[in-house]
Amino acid sequence: MSIFRTIVMFIYLFGYMIVHYGVLRRAERALAAGDMQLVEELVNKHIPHWSRGILKVTGVSLSVEGLENIPKDTACVFVGNHRSYYDIPLLLASLDKPHGILAKEELEKIVDKFEKQGLDVTLITGKDYNVFGLVGDTTKIDERDVLANPWIDNVTRVSAPYKRANRLFHPADSVIDCGGVKIGGKEKIAVMAGPCSIEGAEQALRIAQGVKAGGATLFRGGAYKPRTSPYSFQGLETEGILDMVKAREATGMPIVSELMSEDRIPEFEEYVDVVQIGARNMQNFQLLKAVGKMHKPVLLKRGLCNTIEEWIMSAEYIMAGGNEQVILCERGIRTFEKYTRNTLDLSAVPIIHEKTHLPIIVDPSHATGKANLVEPMMIAAVAAGADGLEVEVHYDPQHAWSDGAQCLTPDSFAQAMAKCRQVAWAIGRDM
């Protein structure tokens, strides 16, 4: 705000008080006499006018939406989540009657009190309320003292180390918008399908068209390939990403691809709709921190030998950085079993839904490593309540440049999808 507008604002504030001194005194006398009806009339008349005046002289333009959602006959508290002194005049100018307002100062007092007790405080701002996540020795906290604060509604002790992903702090299912395809909650079960590796523009387009015809909603493909052997095909890199972009232009399907390193983040921000973090990078915390600053949905795969809690904590890293668009992906864990590549832990699906608000999808291709097992595991994943699937598809699996043994053909993919739709219908989901 310019110096001129600042001077005008102060002139307005003091001038209003001088001009309306009689009104203020009248309100004080009415309050002392217990005439609340008169007090309410005076407040309703002058406070919104005073607030709109502040906005006008400071050059603020105000647009209000959602007034119809305010309860008419019950008490209502508005919480100013923006840390600005403008919160109060903005709210007062927007409302047709006085309301209780919790602004910046009260939030800071609550945070300061906890920090003075040696606790780390994470403020999680919700649509309807704010959550203060406390990390540290909370045994010293007396719940009765906390509840004595009129601005605090409830205290819940959480043993889990994750906060932002925790369903206790976010009861509603998160729904992630992936380039127009929504994943999570009661949305349609999403299906990401495509080759393990992009082998060229023609191959990418052909497979993208095939999986779309079979019912896929997103096109997945690897341009940067993490391989056990340094001599194996490592992907087409930027060329592969651009080949996927061409397939997206032709089919309209958002694209999913794996990010391997921080230096490729600008490329993925520009071209990729969903950023996949592979199993090997699940605990690459520097990469997770960097991805937490991105503005794209993140598909986080479970590590080969990681517990569910460790997996959720990796999601917490991303969310703590500011990016809360996280989708979890179960792709099998390493056990003593040798028949399959990994052991698909389908119990993770209901556990994730119970413990977190994040969507979870299942990758039966990497879990089993065998094409003949992919279809039954797709069906099982849908039955378990997965919010989506990630399936590898190639029109010529025998000659695929990587992981051909686990790839379905477009025809077999379509057949598997038909069976999955029947199961989805049986459990009340659409696909």
With b meaning 16 or more CB within 10 Å and e meaning fewer, what string describes 254-264? Answer: bbbbbbbeeeb
Percent of residues, the chain, with pLDDT higher than 70? 91
Nearest-angstrom CA–CA distance, 10 and 58: 10
Residue 121: per-residue pLDDT = 82
Nearest-angstrom CA–CA distance, 134 and 151: 17
Q: Which two tokens stand for residue 364?
A: 């039966």
Residue 267: per-residue pLDDT = 97
Q: Give, in order, the Cα–Cα distances in Å from 54 to each of 15, 46, 48, 58, 324.
A: 12, 13, 10, 6, 35
Q: What is the pLDDT along the chain (431 residues), one digit of tens a residue?
A: 567 777 877 787 778 778 777 877 887 888 777 787 887 777 777 777 777 777 777 777 778 887 777 777 766 666 666 556 667 777 777 776 655 555 566 777 888 888 888 887 877 766 566 778 787 777 778 888 888 887 788 887 777 888 889 998 788 999 999 999 999 999 999 999 999 999 999 999 999 999 999 999 999 999 998 777 776 777 899 999 999 999 999 999 999 999 999 999 999 999 999 999 999 999 999 999 999 999 999 999 999 999 999 999 999 999 999 999 999 999 999 999 999 999 999 999 999 999 999 999 999 999 999 999 999 999 999 999 999 999 999 999 999 999 899 999 999 999 999 999 999 999 999 99
pTM (whole model) above 0.85: no
Contact 279, 311 (CB under 8 A): no
Burial environment of residue 58 by CB neighbours within 10 A (0 to 12, 13 to 18, 19 or more): middle
Q: Which two tokens stand for residue 77?
A: 């508290």
Angle 33-36-39 (CA atoms, 0-180°, nearest 5)?
95
Q: Who contacts 36 (Cβ-Cβ below 8 Å, separation ≥6)?
A: 30
Residue 247: per-residue pLDDT = 98
Contact 368, 377 (CB under 8 A): yes
Residue 134: per-residue pLDDT = 80
Nearest-angstrom CA–CA distance, 21 and 18: 5
Q: Who contacts 155 (Cβ-Cβ below 8 Å, separation ≥6)?
A: 143, 146, 147
DSSP 259-315: ---GGGHHHHHHH-SEEEE-GGGTT-HHHHHHHTT-SS-EEEEPPTT--HHHHHHHH
Residue 149: per-residue pLDDT = 80
Number of Cβ atoms within 10 Å of the Cβ of 177 = 14
- Rounded to 5 degrees, φ, ψ at 409 are -85, 160
Contact 117, 140 (CB under 8 A): yes
Residue 279: per-residue pLDDT = 96
* Ordered structural domains, the chain, with CATH: 3-102 (no CATH), 104-147 (no CATH), 176-426 (3.20.20.70)
Contact 415, 215 (CB under 8 A): no
Residue 85: per-residue pLDDT = 63
